[in-house]
Amino acid sequence: MKYEVLLGAEAEVDLWEIYRYAERYEPAGVAHRLLDRIEQEVVALAETPTRGACPPELAHIGVREFGEVSCKPYRIIYEVRGSEVVVQCVLDGRKPLTDVLAERLLR
């Protein structure tokens, strides 16, 4: 079964902010390559959404509805809803994530 992959509003904002940061602080072309890598991981969720593990910060508090795949250094957090995969956020894995995940995914 192939799933439809959707970007949540916050994931779209995350991607825009990642792109803007890379455009400003990285060598030319890095921002586009980075977004291409992230897009490949997101698109792959259409085929295998169960391949990602539950983010440990959420599993620790008993919330297991979300999956996570990595596109280092970024973490793509998503939720499977029937035949859809909804990407909730794309977060920098080098930063503490507990507060951000709790705020964004548990509201």
Cα(75)–Cα(72) distance, rounded to whole angstroms? 7
Q: Which pLDDT band, with edges at 50, 70 and 90, does 102 fall under?
A: low
Per-residue pLDDT tens for 68-85? Answer: 999 999 999 999 999 999
Report the CATH fold assignment for 4-105: YaeB-like fold (3.30.2310)
For residue 66, give both structure tokens.
């979300």
pTM for this model (two decimals)? 0.89
Which whole number is the average pLDDT over 90-103?
Answer: 78
pLDDT at residue 103, rounded to an integer: 67
Which whole number is the average pLDDT over 90-99?
Answer: 82
Which whole number is the average pLDDT over 87-93?
Answer: 93
